[in-house]
């Protein structure tokens, strides 16, 4: 039995996904990863790590701005600094951030009042709001440098973070950071903080998914199932790649997606080599076309390829798809707790076998990656890296496996991707749109002799009886 898929709403008559539990368990995993490290705190400017830590979201427009930041002190609660009026909203709508750190740490050596007056600090008296508490506070970073250095935004960010650490006696412990602007880094260092790489703490916490995370990932995949159904009915000669992107985006937003991160729509000769971006190309009879649909449902992503032929498929395209599917199937069969990423990629072809000079040149064609609040999380599967740094598969991991194979005619190619959950006895596939064999989309055509074959070369003069007979001899 597979993971359940619910509607996008909560109801009183069915035990569905539990968002409070989701937030609690994510923070617990992050605290455990921090406790297992040698860091005193972690500081994040990454949009997805902030959401994992605090359960907050202010819109996907903010994903690349680096304006929000949040710190988790060892043994404490998250403190979030957010953009303008978002803080007022958080204080009204996110009670889980109103955490009284002092009340739960009665044996702390100094009370908030005592620390406020007695702590010696390079930023002067500790005057931050909600001392010794978590919660949401007002504060923004440099807007990726667009606020000039004269406004001293970087120094203000560093001061805010320092105050929280000093309140807890953690200012002399290493602080791990995921991504950071250089002026902010330098400002933190100027205050005497030891700034180190903190990405590993977040990646470790997010590596195993909670039951509610798995439920959200499954729901997100089910929405892409529906988008592929519409896409299969829509594909035909005369459609442009960008039109298919619009169709998919509308379907996903109608179903409740919060962000369509991308739709790679690749057709015809653009399939080989794979450009990873859609265009305005007009789809023609007999074209191969593959798509990757990436979107977010309550923060949880999909990465989900499917390949079609439009109108008909050439023998070369059929053969490419068959090879691509075989590499996918052997990989899924090998997924189980205790196996490693190196075990999986060893089943895939070397780069030279499908036309590339090195594994670096072929990176992400035979590939696998964790899926969660980001589309690329741990574990990573690649012949380029996994033999040197193999990762052990564990129950509760969710990742996507993707394979690629170019057609021998030098024109088309096949691309397949399945998202899987590592279960006790193997893999559970949560991407359900049919992909066992190559699907032919578009109108069926009829001649005086009956239905036009859907396995045919797109060049009509190569499909005559004479040519077919000669090709067999």
Question: Which range among 62-71, 136-145, 424-433, 450-459 shows the weakest confidence by mean pLDDT?
Answer: 450-459
Same domain, 101 and 226: no
441 assigned to some structural domain: yes
Same domain, 131 and 269: no
Burial of 279 (0-12, 13-18, 19+ CB in 10 A): middle
Asked if 220 and 187 touch (Cβ cutoff 8 Å), the reply is: no
Q: At which of 152, 183, 206 does a domain end?
A: 206
**What pLDDT sits at residue 128?**
45
pLDDT digits (tens, 9 = 90+) for 315-336: 999 999 999 999 999 999 999 9
**What pLDDT sits at residue 9?**
82
CA proximity to 212, closest of 71, 398, 364, 455: 398
pLDDT digits (tens, 9 = 90+) for 331-389: 999 999 999 999 999 999 999 999 999 999 999 999 999 999 999 999 999 999 999 99
14 assigned to some structural domain: no
Look at residue 285 and tell me whether its pLDDT is greater than 50.
yes
Q: Given CA atoms 78, 80, 86, 92 in this order, what sign does their dihedral have?
A: positive
DSSP letters of 272-325?
SS--SS---PBP-TT-EEEEEEEEEETTEE--EEEEEEES-B-HHHHHHHHHHH
Q: At which of 206, 227, 248 does a domain end?
A: 206
Give the orientation angle of helix 241-255 with respect to helix 211-234, to 10 degrees: 140
d(CA 141, CA 12): 41
Asked if 71 and 96 touch (Cβ cutoff 8 Å), the reply is: no
CA proximity to 379, closest of 340, 338, 428: 340
Calculate the dihedral angle through the C-alpha atoms of 441, 446, 451, 456, rounding to the nearest 10 degrees.
-60
Q: Say how far residue 341 (Cα) sits from the centre of its chain.
A: 18
φ and ψ of 440, to 5 deg: -105, 120
Mean pLDDT value across residues 4-14: 84
d(CA 171, CA 193): 6
pTM above 0.85, yes or no: yes
Same domain, 151 and 226: no
Question: Which range among 133-147, 283-297, 405-419 shows the weakest confidence by mean pLDDT?
Answer: 133-147
Mean pLDDT value across residues 181-206: 98
Burial pattern 390-426, b for ≥16 Cβ within 10 A else e, equals: bbebeebbbbbbbbbbbbebebbbbbbbbbbbbbeee
**What pLDDT sits at residue 387?**
98
CA proximity to 292, closest of 397, 436, 435: 435
The beta strands (E) that lie in 152-207 are given as: 175-177, 195-197
Q: Which position has the higher pLDDT, 417 or 5? A: 417
d(CA 435, CA 47): 33
Asked if 141 and 181 touch (Cβ cutoff 8 Å), the reply is: yes
Same domain, 136 and 166: yes
**What pLDDT sits at residue 113?**
31
Q: What percent of the chain has pLDDT over 90?
A: 82
Q: Which residues lie below 8 Å from residue 111, measured CB to CB, with a gap of 6+?
A: 102, 132
Same domain, 191 and 329: no
160 assigned to some structural domain: yes
Same domain, 298 and 329: yes
461 assigned to some structural domain: no
**Containing domain of residue 107, as a range?**
19-206
Domain count, the chain: 2
**What pLDDT sits at residue 473?**
52
Q: At which of 183, 206, 229 does a domain end?
A: 206
pLDDT digits (tens, 9 = 90+) for 130-154: 444 579 999 999 999 999 999 999 9
Write down the residue that tokens 């032929």 correspond to: 309
How is residue 250 annotated by DSSP? H
Reduced to 3 states, what is the DSSP secondary structure of residue 417? strand
CA proximity to 187, closest of 139, 154, 163: 154
Domain harbouring 410, CATH code: 3.90.230.10
pLDDT digits (tens, 9 = 90+) for 439-466: 999 999 898 999 988 999 877 777 776 5
Reduced to 3 states, what is the DSSP secondary structure of residue 332? helix
Reduced to 3 states, what is the DSSP secondary structure of residue 225? helix
Q: What is the mean pLDDT of the chain?
A: 91
**What pLDDT sits at residue 108?**
39
Same domain, 96 and 235: no
């Amino acid at each position: 039995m597979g993971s359940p898929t619910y509607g996008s709403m909560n109801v009183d008559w069915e035990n569905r996904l539990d968002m409070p539990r989701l937030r609690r368990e994510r923070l617990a995993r992050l605290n455990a990863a921090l406790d297992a490290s040698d860091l005193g705190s972690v500081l994040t400017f990454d949009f997805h790590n902030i959401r994992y830590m605090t359960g907050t979201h202010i819109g996907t427009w903010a994903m690349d701005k680096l304006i929000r930041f949040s710190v988790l002190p060892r043994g404490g609660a998250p403190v979030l600094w957010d953009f303008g009026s978002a803080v007022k909203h958080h204080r009204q709508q996110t009670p889980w951030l109103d955490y009284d750190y002092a009340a739960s740490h009665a044996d702390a050596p100094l009370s908030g009042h005592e620390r406020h007056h007695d702590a010696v600090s390079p930023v002067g008296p500790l005057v931050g709001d909600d001392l010794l508490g978590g919660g949401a506070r007002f504060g923004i970073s440099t807007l990726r440098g667009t606020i000039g250095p004269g406004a001293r935004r970087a120094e203000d960010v560093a001061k805010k973070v320092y105050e929280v650490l000093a309140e807890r006696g953690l200012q002399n412990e290493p602080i791990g950071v995921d991504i950071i602007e250089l002026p902010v880094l330098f400002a933190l260092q100027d205050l005497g903080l030891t700034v180190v790489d903190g990405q590993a703490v977040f990646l470790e916490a997010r590596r195993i998914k909670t039951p509610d995370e798995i439920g959200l990932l499954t729901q997100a995949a089910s929405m892409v199932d529906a988008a592929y159904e519409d896409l299969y009915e829509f594909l035909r000669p005369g459609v442009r790649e960008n039109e298919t992107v619009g169709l998919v985006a509308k379907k996903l937003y109608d179903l409740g997606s919060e962000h369509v991160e991308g739709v790679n729509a690749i057709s015809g000769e653009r399939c080989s080599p794979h450009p990873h971006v859609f265009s305005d190309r007009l789809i023609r009879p007999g074209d191969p076309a593959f798509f990757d649909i990436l979107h977010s449902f309550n923060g949880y992503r999909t990465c989900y390829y499917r390949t079609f032929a439009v109108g008909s498929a050439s023998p070369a395209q059929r053969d490419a798809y068959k090879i691509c599917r075989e590499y996918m199937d052997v990989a899924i069969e090998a997924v189980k707790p205790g196996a490693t990423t190196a075990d999986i990629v060893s089943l895939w072809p070397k780069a030279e076998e499908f036309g590339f000079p090195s594994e670096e040149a072929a990176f992400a064609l035979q590939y696998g990656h964790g899926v969660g609040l980001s589309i690329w999380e741990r574990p990573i599967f690649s012949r380029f890296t996994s033999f040197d740094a193999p990762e052990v598969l564990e129950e509760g991991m969710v990742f996507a496996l993707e394979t690629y194979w170019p057609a021998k005619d030098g024109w088309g190619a096949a691309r397949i991707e399945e998202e899987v959950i590592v279960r006790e006895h193997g893999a559970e596939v949560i991407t359900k749109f049919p992909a066992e064999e190559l699907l032919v989309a578009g109108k069926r055509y009829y001649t005086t002799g009956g239905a036009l074959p859907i396995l045919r070369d797109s060049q009509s003069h190569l499909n005559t009886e004479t040519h077919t007979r000669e090709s067999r001899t």
